[in-house]
């Protein structure tokens, strides 16, 4: 994933911070839902307390299961610049069964938490995703309070959307729009498969571009 982080940093002109969930990659601990929430909170605190990033300069980016911790944080942090959901899930149970209600034992209940997200939401999903059906992304977009133009990638699967030229073009357009909207820095955080990334948009020489964390 490091190569993708570097590519996003260069093309979007953002600084990126990445991490592994508990129990994955270089991280110790157990891979539980509650631990993923603690992980993303720790990265958020690192950005704000150690690096001095402002909440309003942060764009969260959640991919697949990573959309769970991303929306958990976004539902509690109302001043965030924006959220990007990449092949997101409605909930853990809904990936397996088309249930109509949320059960207490379900995990990553994004379908409920998206309603508490106040910032702009961009959804990216492949129409041929055979892991998480595109209907998950479309329903989350419909439930968003502040919708940004979505990107439904025709023929896109679950793990190859970065290979489509439209992917980086649409992301760049979105980040620039969020930069203009905020008038300052913008940060982006991404929760990715087991790995997460976040970044801070690089300042223009004139100081006009915002930072991003993903």
Q: Which residues are catalytic?
A: 64, 129, 158
HSE-up of residue 37 (Cα within 13 Å, Cβ side): 14
CB 181 within 8 A of CB 8: no
Closest CA to 74 of 206, 204, 201, 188: 188
Number of H helices, E strands in the chain: 7, 8
Matching residue, tokens 């106040």: 118
- Residue position matching structure tokens 């930069």: 179
Q: Which residue has the tokens 């929430």?
A: 37
């Amino acid at each position: 994933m490091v190569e993708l982080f570097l590519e996003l940093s260069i093309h979007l002109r953002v600084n990126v911070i990445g991490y592994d969930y508990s129990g994955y990659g270089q991280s110790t601990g157990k891979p539980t839902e509650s631990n993923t929430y603690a992980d993303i909170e720790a990265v958020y605190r690192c950005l704000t307390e150690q690096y001095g990033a402002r909440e309003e300069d942060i764009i969260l980016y959640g991919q697949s299961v990573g959309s769970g911790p991303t929306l958990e944080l976004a539902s509690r942090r109302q001043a965030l610049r924006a959220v990007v959901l990449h092949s997101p899930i409605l909930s853990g149970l809904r990936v397996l069964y088309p249930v109509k209600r949320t059960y207490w034992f379900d995990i990553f209940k994004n379908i409920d938490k998206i309603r508490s997200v106040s910032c702009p939401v961009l959804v990216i999903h492949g129409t041929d995703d055979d892991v998480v059906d595109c209907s998950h992304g479309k329903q989350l977009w419909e439930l968003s309070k502040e919708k940004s133009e979505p990107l439904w990638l025709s023929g896109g699967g679950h793990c190859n959307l970065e290979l489509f030229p439209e992917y980086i073009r649409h992301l760049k357009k979105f980040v620039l729009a969020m930069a203009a909207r905020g008038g300052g820095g913008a940060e982006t955080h991404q929760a990715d498969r087991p790995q997460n990334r976040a970044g801070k948009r690089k300042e223009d020489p004139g100081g006009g571009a915002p930072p991003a964390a993903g």
